[in-house]
């Protein structure tokens, strides 16, 4: 009974599978684990075997409360993905993005404005050094080279809302400079983004090439965000605590 005399009703979270509670009991009373170790065991099972889940807080070991938050958050995420598929037919287990439907033609379409916004975000994160695998000095060298077209304004992000400056920072000219200088990681990073940007326009390249460039970008993202995607292509298994280095 509650303090006011009404019957106590236990709230059940529909997102949490019943087997999670059973596993928690089994690990403690059959396998002899402590409560914290049992929770850690369940926490580790949320990612495929051989991978380590990312902590709830960046670069901070998870406390028992953090692990519980991660467990609940993961199952909440998976529940939403499942509900979206059942209610709206939007299958986010196989697609990261569901295109809009044109009300006139009833066909799928993608807004280029969204693409440009993402390009500016990527450029901003590149300038901020959010990807520690990239050597920013390589971009400074590219700016000083005569044939890259990279300007100080574009490199420093003086005009953060400028699509042109983002294009200059992540252009094919910069890609070629990195290739010639042997900056392999910077070359691959910039090339994938430049090709993806070209695919959004599509002029001068075939539909097949556009598709290829987009998939190269998708796979580049998934290599970092969901490294098991080649073994298990199910986006509902994404680690909710894991972030992308170039799009924070």
Q: How far is CA 240 from CA 86, 88, 132, 225, in A?
A: 21, 22, 21, 10
Cβ within 8 Å of residue 224, ≥6 positions away: 244, 245
Render pLDDT for 212-245 as a digit per residue (tens, 0 to 9).
Answer: 999 999 999 999 899 999 999 999 999 999 987 6
Residues 84 and 104 in one domain: no
Strand boundaries in 86-154, DSSP class E: 100-101, 108-109
Tally of CA atoms within 13 A in the half-sphere of 226 that contains its CB: 19
Residues 22 and 43 in one domain: yes
Lowest mean pLDDT among 185-194, 203-212, 213-222: 203-212
User: Which residues form the domain of 83?
Assistant: 18-88
Is residue 122 within a helix (H) or strand (E), and if so which, with residue range? Answer: helix 112-127
The reply to whether 243 falls in a domain is no
**Residue 108: per-residue pLDDT:** 74
pLDDT over 80 at 7, yes or no: no
**Residue 6: per-residue pLDDT:** 63
Residue 248 confidence class, pLDDT cut points 50, 70, 90: very low
pLDDT over 60 at 1, yes or no: no
Residues 64 and 104 in one domain: no
**Residue 200: per-residue pLDDT:** 83
Residue 205 confidence class, pLDDT cut points 50, 70, 90: confident
Residues 126 and 182 in one domain: yes
Residues 126 and 216 in one domain: yes
Render pLDDT for 21-45 as a digit per residue (tens, 0 to 9).
Answer: 899 999 999 999 999 999 999 999 9
**Residue 116: per-residue pLDDT:** 87
Counting the structural domains of the chain, the total is: 2
The reply to whether 1 falls in a domain is no
Q: What pTM, to 2 d.p., does this model score? A: 0.81
Residue 246 confidence class, pLDDT cut points 50, 70, 90: low
The reply to whether 244 falls in a domain is no
Residues 143 and 199 in one domain: yes
Render pLDDT for 127-177 as a digit per residue (tens, 0 to 9).
Answer: 998 888 899 999 999 999 999 999 999 999 999 999 999 999 999 999 999
pLDDT over 80 at 247, yes or no: no
Residues 53 and 143 in one domain: no
**Residue 4: per-residue pLDDT:** 62
DSSP reduced 3-state for 212? helix
Residues 82 and 108 in one domain: no
Is residue 193 within a helix (H) or strand (E), and if so which, with residue range? Answer: helix 184-201
Render pLDDT for 79-135 as a digit per residue (tens, 0 to 9).
Answer: 999 999 999 888 999 988 777 777 888 877 766 667 888 899 999 999 998 888 899
Residues 231 and 169 in one domain: yes
Residues 51 and 115 in one domain: no
Nearest to residue 139, comparing CAs of 83, 185, 84? 185
């Amino acid at each position: 009974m509650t303090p006011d005399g009404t019957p106590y009703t236990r709230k059940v979270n529909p997102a949490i599978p019943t087997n999670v509670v059973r596993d928690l009991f089994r690990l403690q009373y059959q396998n002899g684990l402590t409560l914290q170790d049992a929770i850690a065991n369940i926490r580790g099972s949320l990612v495929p075997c051989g991978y380590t889940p990312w902590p709830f807080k960046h670069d901070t070991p998870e406390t028992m409360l953090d692990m519980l938050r991660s467990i609940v958050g993961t199952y909440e995420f998976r529940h939403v993905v499942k509900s979206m598929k059942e209610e709206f037919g939007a299958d986010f287990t196989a697609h990261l993005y569901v295109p809009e439907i044109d009300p006139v033609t009833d066909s799928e379409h993608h807004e280029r404005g969204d693409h440009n916004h993402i390009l500016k975000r990527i450029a901003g994160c590149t300038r901020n050094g959010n990807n520690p695998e990239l050597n920013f000095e390589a971009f400074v060298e590219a700016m000083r080279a005569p044939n890259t077209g990279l300007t100080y304004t574009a490199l420093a992000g003086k005009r953060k809302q400028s699509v042109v400056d983002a294009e200059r920072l992540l252009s094919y000219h910069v890609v070629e400079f990195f290739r010639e200088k042997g900056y392999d990681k910077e070359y691959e990073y910039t090339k994938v983004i430049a090709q993806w940007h070209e695919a959004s326009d599509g002029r001068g390249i075939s539909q097949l090439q556009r598709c290829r460039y987009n998939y190269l970008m998708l796979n580049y993202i998934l290599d970092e965000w969901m490294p098991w995607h080649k073994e298990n292509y199910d986006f509902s298994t994404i680690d909710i605590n894991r972030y992308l280095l170039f799009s924070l």
